[in-house]
Structure 1
């Protein structure tokens, strides 16, 4: 249950602002604490307010509602009658749309402000806004504001050009704009409604028809206007079809704005399908816009960034894809494995080897120290640059680092495989594996690779495999991994052993080994199960003692009443002759724990301890089978 910050503050003597500020300093991604902190800034001084809004919006730039609240705070503390306040608010909105250029709500708020207080700059801002978010399903309000602005400027040519652009832009509310356009067009001439290029095309088409040569100038203007309106209507109808096709996807979304909470699985699936459809049917601009729209609610989903970067690299070039990768790493996913490596690939492709090396060093030392993919990329970068000595120094350096079990095993296997397959240096490969047996004793991939290496390269593989089996079974591997390794050993051994008796003996040894391990596990489980009731019993001791104290007087009274009767019955009973009871040794069960004196499993099949150990096995499990010692094969 979360602690109320106000209650915590009262107990610790801190204000809610201090408590929440410490919370976000400790965890900058604590979205809830951030929102609570910002909600308490109304009474704070302007510098404090600016400080926390700047920090929050630097961390979460897609929260358009908080950009608006930031501007509202500035207006509250200043006045829109003062140019200083207008400039300050404009600066905030400028940074907002720069941080999230494809956020339609951000542009709607900004243009509501700009069309009132920045009239001179508004037209350029409107043009930029509709070029970025004009196709967004929620762009209707933006187009409305744009049309109102141009109408207020009393420039019919500019408004006509805007309508021409609007009617060819696919967005959700497009169908509602045909009637307003026709109302506007009815009051204008064709020279105003058409651009110069369009007018020339219309006149050429009109004059090329022999039937039009005898028509008057008035009829000519009427026909040209009708031809233009028909062309507009054709474009409008085609654009509506695009809207309908995209609406199949758009209407399924539940959330199109950014939030720190996860996106629903239905929305994620819809984005995947929508992007795939757009990649087939859209243009470069429409695909770009859809990716940017997707990355507003899905800003923390690596898969969409990777897909965007890969497409941009193919369609827009190396530079654009690098910009997208940098934006992802700087603002949203600084530790994304795929994005980090994608950027490294882009840097290498750009030909800046030294910068790529520095970036790889940053990945493996600072950003993701145990990122195996980063280590491998760094090594292979040097190999691609024909720097074999540098690559081997890196391998040696990383093999001496103490990472996790999986990472240690992977690095050693990678290094040994390099010397085996690339350098053809079997001695060095064996040295790498042998020197790291203790360090990698819990790594199953290490033991598998080691066994395969010996099986493939050893001069006497049977002897080598027997020795490695002993090392592996005596290692700190878990039971399931040892079981897998033993099975792999049997597969390898069966292909190089020349005596079927030895193979049978190995299989028997395997069966007995499984029994021994199973017995040890059951004994351990039994000890654990016996320990739990004793702990529960200890907890109930006090209660039982109290109950016994309360019932003791009553029990003593009952015993005193029954004692004369029991003595009388004993005198009447004949004396029974006591017979000695037979002492029987309980039968040993399969899976029961082995006697402690048996010790650990011997690893040398030629030693007397080996034969003695399995002789005890046979006796213990009731097997009348003499131990046979396999003859090592060469």
Structure 2
């Protein structure tokens, strides 16, 4: 599915290879369907939903991604850690649906109904635009039906969808080359465009060599036409770029360049500036003038016209051949040897720097096992490798290489939202281009239409550039198509609130309140979700509208539906505690709401302790403090011995203080062995151990310890 394999090129750079078969030019992928053992049962991403109609998924709508999963994979060849979470969900793709499409297209490809075939191909490629092989099949079908213009348009659309697909570029250029009398400059522009867009792709060697072969064919055609200005300077420019570009077969390109340099005069290959510099050095070294080192000669060739109208050189005369004599220049053998040596030395320095770049990327490239698109999920090591590779390139800081790597990554990883979000954020941070960033989010939506995180990220970007209307529109469209996401509802309300704050419109604030109330009303069948939204609305009233009374009213109403929700009581108390407009009586009444409820005894003890702390620290009525202290110890006395809670005065060994023993010289008439009380006992007050002196009746000391004191006898 859209696989671009690397292929070793032959040693010859001949543009036209007579032995080349069509099956080789348009190779089918034997492993196109090798991943047939797909997971049928996809785990879906969990969503927080209620049973209300507002939060139920419409029938037939696509489900989201599964819950996160990962592994303990570690690769010592990776030199960086990903900057985002390394846990990826299963792509939300129905593999059976993809298989059905493949079957349908196989049948359509054999029919003569062009309209039906176009409809099927377009629908499939709209859903799966990264499937390189089907763009090629579609173009071939149009060509088979004689629709060359439509075939060209299909190639163009495929390249726009997968700009780094080397096979698409080569298929397109192969079709164009076969058009008789096609303008040379137009074909050259096509190759230049391909090199500019996809030349940095790591497996782009074939594209570079095809472009070099094309320029060589143009040079030979000019020679055969007797063009005195014929030269290979464009070949030299392409080789110079290729020698400095990290590619899969980079190690073989210097040798290829040397072989070509040895078959041609240097002035035809080098730029005028470089050739002048080298000739100046050679003349100084040999102590001769340039005129003494260059000779005019005539070269004879046997030419033949090819099928596409371009001429080439053959070795033997035959039918359709003709001789051609060309005026040229030749260098002195000694000077030629020095010139070639200097050219090779310069290119070797470029080559060595490039090989170092290849070496530091070799570990990442070796871990890329599936560089093409497929609906089957990628395994965790490959996903981790892509993230690490991206972080490495971002750290290196070469923007062209970073962009190319993102584009490469988003072919096999197109179904993973993490990479799209990372790409969009990097693009905005680097280029500050709203257009480029939006294009990425638009493409991402094609591949991940049900991604909540993608919608949130897109909306967040629009809001960050103060485009509130589009930010709200993105969220609104998603919530209508995929209802039930609590996080989405909160982001939607947050965007509305921030827009209202910015615009200062009272009607917008009322709309936010209406949305909150609608969510609360629609979630009454789910107490937890109802309480959740009620808490959010209460905070909105307290913090944004500065109305704590109304906030408490919302919480009280929620408590009628979810009376055992501890968080509602805590928030109710916190609103009173933290509000400047609330009086001491309001705070105490808020505590009493929790204490008079049907909460567990342990929870009531915690609220009681907080109330006691408030009275001690901020209270003004001593009678109220003492009354509540009695109430608090009464609650403590009701806690069973086997229950341990974390609060002051309860089950705290540091608060049990024992009396110091009597001095040894004092007579001890009677001192029975009294077992120390167990630490899990909860007395009303900490007690000192009983001591009998002079046979007097035992005395009991009750002391309330306010600060921990450690006894020497413990």
What is the TM-score with the length of structure 2 in the denominator? 0.60
Which residue among 121, 124, 127 is the counterpart of 1:56? Answer: 124
- Aligned: 1:122 with 2:187: yes
Change beyond 3 A, Cα 1:442–1:272: farther
- 1:291-327 CA-partner distances (Å, limit 9, x unpaired): 1111111112121112111111111123254234432
Q: Give 1:242's aligned residue.
A: 357
Q: Give 2:508's aligned residue.
A: 390
Conservation of the 8 A alpha-carbon contact between 2:594 and 2:604: no
Q: Give 2:392's aligned residue.
A: 277
- Aligned: 1:34 with 2:101: yes
- Aligned: 1:426 with 2:551: no
Query: Displacement, 1:289?
Result: 0.4
SS at structure 2 position matched to 1:344: helix
- 1:405-450 CA-partner distances (Å, limit 9, x unpaired): 5554343322322332343322222223223334565866444423
1:90-129 superposed matches below 5 A: 90-117=152-179, 119-120=182-183, 121-129=186-194
- Aligned: 1:171 with 2:247: yes
Change beyond 3 A, Cα 1:263–1:488: farther
Q: Distance in 2 between matches of 1:408 and 1:197?
A: 77
- Aligned: 1:134 with 2:190: no
SS at structure 2 position matched to 1:296: coil
Q: Give 2:410's aligned residue.
A: 295
Q: Distance in 2 between matches of 1:41 and 1:24?
A: 28
Q: Distance in 1 between matches of 2:355 and 2:156?
A: 32
Query: Displacement, 1:348?
Result: 3.6
Q: Distance in 2 between matches of 1:294 and 1:484?
A: 54
Conservation of the 8 A alpha-carbon contact between 1:419 and 1:426: yes
SS at structure 2 position matched to 1:259: coil
Query: Displacement, 1:172?
Result: 0.7
Which residue among 140, 143, 146 is the counterpart of 2:211? Answer: 146
Q: Distance in 2 between matches of 1:436 and 1:259?
A: 48
Q: Give 1:504's aligned residue.
A: 633
Conservation of the 8 A alpha-carbon contact between 2:468 and 2:495: no
1:216-231 superposed matches below 5 A: 217-218=292-293, 223-231=338-346
Q: Give 1:161's aligned residue.
A: 237
Root mean square deviation of aligned Cα:
3.6
Q: Distance in 1 between matches of 2:61 and 2:135?
A: 19
Q: Give 1:65's aligned residue.
A: 133
1:343-422 superposed matches below 5 A: 343-366=458-481, 368=483, 370=485, 371=488, 372-387=490-505, 389-401=507-519, 402-403=522-523, 407-422=529-544
Which residue among 437, 443, 446 is the counterpart of 1:331? Answer: 446
Deviates more, 1:259-268 or 1:325-334: 325-334
SS at structure 1 position matched to 2:154: helix
Change beyond 3 A, Cα 1:156–1:88: same
Change beyond 3 A, Cα 1:98–1:468: same
Query: Displacement, 1:395?
Result: 2.8
Conservation of the 8 A alpha-carbon contact between 1:257 and 1:297: yes
Change beyond 3 A, Cα 1:116–1:450: farther
Which structure has more relative contact order (CA 8 Å, sep 6+)? It is 2
Conservation of the 8 A alpha-carbon contact between 2:569 and 2:593: no
Q: Give 1:252's aligned residue.
A: 367
Deviates more, 1:384-393 or 1:424-433: 384-393
Deviates more, 1:294-303 or 1:443-452: 443-452
Q: Distance in 2 between matches of 1:351 and 1:462?
A: 44
Q: Distance in 2 between matches of 1:133 and 1:166?
A: 12
Conservation of the 8 A alpha-carbon contact between 1:322 and 1:343: no
Conservation of the 8 A alpha-carbon contact between 1:137 and 1:171: yes
Change beyond 3 A, Cα 1:303–1:230: same
Conservation of the 8 A alpha-carbon contact between 2:393 and 2:402: yes
- 1:453-507 CA-partner distances (Å, limit 9, x unpaired): 245456333443232355463xxxxxxxx79955753553453464544223324
Q: Distance in 1 between matches of 2:605 and 2:362?
A: 57
- 1:588-627 CA-partner distances (Å, limit 9, x unpaired): xxxxxxxxxxxxxxxxxxxxxxxxxxxxxxxxxxxxxxxx
Q: Give 2:68's aligned residue.
A: none
Q: Distance in 1 between matches of 2:571 and 2:608?
A: 15
Conservation of the 8 A alpha-carbon contact between 1:134 and 1:171: no
- 1:361-391 CA-partner distances (Å, limit 9, x unpaired): 4445455564122322332232233345513
Q: Give 2:594's aligned residue.
A: 468
Which residue among 437, 440, 445 is the counterpart of 2:559? Answer: 437
- 1:56-94 CA-partner distances (Å, limit 9, x unpaired): 001000011111222333344x25xxxxx3222211111
Q: Distance in 1 between matches of 2:455 and 2:61?
A: 26
Q: Give 1:14's aligned residue.
A: none
Structure 1: gaps of 5 or more residues: 3-22, 80-84, 474-481, 516-634
Conservation of the 8 A alpha-carbon contact between 1:135 and 1:171: yes
Richer in helix (by share): 1
Q: Distance in 2 between matches of 1:463 and 1:509?
A: 23
What is the TM-score with the length of structure 1 in the denominator? 0.67
Conservation of the 8 A alpha-carbon contact between 2:564 and 2:598: no
SS at structure 2 position matched to 1:437: helix
Q: Give 1:620's aligned residue.
A: none
Change beyond 3 A, Cα 1:178–1:334: same
